[in-house]
Structure 1
Amino acid sequence: MAARIDHLVTSGTFALDGGEWDVDNNVWIVGDDTEAVVIDAAHDADAIFAALDGRTLRAVICTHAHNDHIDAAPALAARTGASIHLHPADLPLWQQTHPDRAPEEELADGQVLTVAGVDLTVLHTPGHAPGAVCLYAPGLGEHGTVFTGDTLFQGGPGATGRSFSDFPTIVDSIRDRLLTLPPRTEVRTGHGDGTTIGAEAPHLDEWVKRGH
């Protein structure tokens, strides 16, 4: 059976540097009828568990460790027995939310995670956070898919105005790691609507000029 992408939106609070903001997060489930991985277990472990619909959860993959992307990860892992995967450069951020519970697995650039016959290649894309990663699946969807977390959105890079972030670094990550993907690759983001690589590529210089 073919692998598919299931999507749900969960709501909660993003907290960093003493501020709090209400946010809606995209949660992505990649798998078939028997097994799956969750990309960014945000806010609501019960809703994510229900969306799994009895499938075996192989991993909880974190695109980065801002609290709104990981707050439900330990509860979901405890309920399913799945391991949590995070790039080690984001451990300081993780520990702000979960000081007593470390991820089991470290993500590394170039690593390939396979579920339901689909390969997800880890692309380390720092800038929004030191350990931010994207997950590229050329075999998923009609033209391939990349899950970008908060690195690339419809209309530009993720925010870099808070601790652990850097604008020149995120621009380099997008230029070197994402805009080199095929133009029709679907971009599935951490918040809001998706886009394609081809739709965003022409605007790189414009983002740099405005220091988005």
Structure 2
Amino acid sequence: MAARIEHVVTSGVFSLDGQDFDVDNNVWLVGDDAEVIVVDPSHDPAAVQRAVAGREVVAVVCTHGHNDHVNGAVALAAEVGAPVLLNPADQELWAQAHPDATPDGELSDGQVLRVAGTEVRVLSTPGHTWGSVCLYIPDLAAVLTGDTLFAGGPGATGRSFSDFPTIIESIRERLLTLPPETEVHTGHGDRTTIGAEAPALPEWIARGH
């Protein structure tokens, strides 16, 4: 079976800087009928495990360290026997959600993960957090952007560990250079494409978010 991308939505609370927000998160599974990579298992690890459906989990990958993207990672990894991977630049954020656990491995720019005969390339895209990464899958013409890029603009940068000029540079240099037909699978909300978003870059810069 060819690799594919599957989707689960979970709901919970995002907490940062003393504020709480109710959120719906996209959890992505990349793989085939035998093995998968799970990306950003949030809020409800049991629901994510049901979606895994007994397949081998090669890795649990966190695109960044915000609690609503990592709070299910440790429990899921323990159940499926997989390593949790995170860019170490987000260790401080990770510790807010998991003070008694550490990731099993690191993510770095240019790293290649392999699942179901398919390459998943790690792109360093700081800005939403210092350690944010995106996952580009050339064979599937897709990129999983976490909270770096959404339909309609960049991820939020008004809180701790974030910076607007940095996220703009990441989007301009690392994402908008991908083929325009590349489908963007976001951390929250609807999918989009690189081609649909690229023309709006000047507007985002002008509005400052």
Q: Tell me which interval the TM-score lies in, with the shorter structure as reference length.
A: over 0.9
TM-score by length of 1: 0.98
Query: 1:166 matched to which residue of 2?
Result: 163
Structure 1 residues 121-136: aligned runs within 5 Å: 121-136=121-136
| 1:45-76 Cα distance to aligned partner (Å, 9 max, x none) | 10000001110111000000100000000000
Over the residues paired in the alignment, what is the CA RMSD in angstroms? 0.4
What is the alpha-carbon distance in structure 2 between the residues aligned to residue 4 and residue 208 of structure 1?
Answer: 34
Aligned to 1:3: 3
Task: Tell me which amino acid in the other structure corresponds to 1:51.
Answer: A
- SS at the partner of 1:139? helix
Identity %: 67
Match of 1:17 in 2: 17
The Cα shift of 1:4 comes to: 1.1
Task: Give the Cα separation in 1 of the matches to 2:79 and 2:182.
Answer: 33
1:153-201 deviations in whole A, cap 9, x for unaligned? 0000000000000000000000000000000000000000010000000
* Deviation, structure 1 residue 120: 0.5
User: Does residue 1:31 correspond to 2:28, yes or no?
Assistant: no
2:152 matched residue in structure 1: 155
TM-score (norm 2): 0.99
Tell me the amino acid that sits aligned with residue 107 of structure 1. Answer: L
The yes-or-no answer on 1:209 pairing with 2:206 is yes
Q: Which residue of 2 aligns with 1:138?
A: 138
From 157, 174, 179, the counterpart of 1:182? 179
Q: 2:178 and 2:16 mapped to 1: Cα distance?
A: 31
Structure 1 position 124, deviation (Å) = 0.3
* Alignment gaps of 5+ in structure 2: none
2: CA distance, partners of 1:167 / 1:186 = 23
Aligned residues: 209
| Corresponding position of 1:112 | 112
Task: Output the CA distance in 1 between the equivalents of 2:54 and 2:102.
Answer: 26
Is 1:89 the equivalent of 2:89?
Answer: yes
Q: Tell me which amino acid in the other structure corresponds to 1:81.
A: G
Letter in 1 for 2:85: H
**2:99, 2:125 → 1: CA distance?**
24
Q: Secondary structure at the match of 1:21?
A: strand
